[in-house]
Structure 1
Amino acid sequence: MDTIPDNIILHPIGVIRNTTKQPFLVASAAGLTMQGDLAPTMDRVRESEETISEVILKGEFTELLEGIDEYSHIKILYWAHGVPAEGRSLKKVHPMGRPDYPL
């Protein structure tokens, strides 16, 4: 097997903007926590499926979008920059931050 590197360096090529002000889930050293009670949070999750986000790329990457209108869906990988370091090192979490679901 090939050696697995210890680090990966990411360089941002753009940003994503939308109207979401607070995330549904927050990662911390304590784990993944749902923000609020289940029913209203799940309503927010369902509503978010209709949220339109704007993807803004750095100028030198705009040519990568040529022909994008031929597709119905795209996948975007993103880095949640607001997550503290201890929240990024989680190994196991309860799905959706719900302790009633097993690890």
Structure 2
Amino acid sequence: MNTQQTNLPEMTLVPVGLVQSSLKVPSLKVTRENLELKPSMEELKQQQREIANTLSEIVIFKQWEPLLKGIEAFSHILVLYWPHLIDPEKRNLEQVHPMGRKEIPLQGIYATCSPARPNPVLVSAVQLVGREENKLIVKGFEALDQSPVIDIKPYSAHYMKKENLVFPEWMRKINEELGI
């Protein structure tokens, strides 16, 4: 869709920082057909446990440092970031088998957490361990090293807590298998 034809504004995102993490390689490989699971489910569980205990730094570029004032008063933050290792040609996937599992019927990209999306903006809720000037130390962040950070918001249960959530059976099963 051409934004000029629909009178929508042009949208520009600018990175406000970068992730520094020991996580260097994605756990899932993006292909045109689907997301193929590289590791076994047991290996994926181990990766999830490692991510949960990983400390990462979000280094905010100096010109944006004043925007961090007060963030250290929160225990958790939402981080919006760009999965920079996704091949731009793979961003036109329409449907995938969630987590590469062929026994799960194809789902539309918007019904999954696949990073292969038209606008691959990902979001994670992470524990904020501390702040050192323009660096935020976070725990449990799955973003890979050098991922551009787009935005940060405080996590607020008041705004984000929803009750009576409904999930499809396939997602409930995956979460149960991962111990989430």
TM-score range, shorter chain: 0.7 to 0.9
Whether the aligned pair in 1 keeps the contact of 2:33 and 2:96 (CA below 8 Å) is no
TM-score (norm 1): 0.83
Query: In the aligned structure 2, how far is the partner of 1:96 from the partner of 1:53?
Result: 24
Q: Which runs of 5+ in 2 are unaligned?
A: 1-5, 107-180
Which runs of structure 2 are paired with 1:19-34 in the superposition (5 Å)?
19-34=22-37
Which runs of structure 2 are paired with 1:1-103 in the superposition (5 Å)?
3=6, 5=8, 8-103=11-106
Sequence identity percentage: 35
Q: Which runs of 5+ in 1 are unaligned?
A: none
Distance apart, 1:57 and its partner CA: 1.0
Bigger fraction of residues in strand:
2
Query: In the aligned structure 2, how far is the partner of 1:6 from the partner of 1:30?
Result: 32
Distance apart, 1:63 and its partner CA: 0.9
CA RMSD of aligned residues (A): 2.0
Ranked by relative contact order (alpha carbons within 8 Å, sequence separation 6 or more), the top structure is: 1
Q: Name which of structure 1's ranges 25-34 and 15-24 shifts more when overlaid on structure 2.
A: 25-34
Distance apart, 1:94 and its partner CA: 2.0
Query: In the aligned structure 1, how far is the partner of 2:92 from the partner of 2:58?
Result: 27
TM-score (norm 2): 0.50
List structure 1 runs of 4+ shifted beyond 4 angstroms.
Answer: 3-7
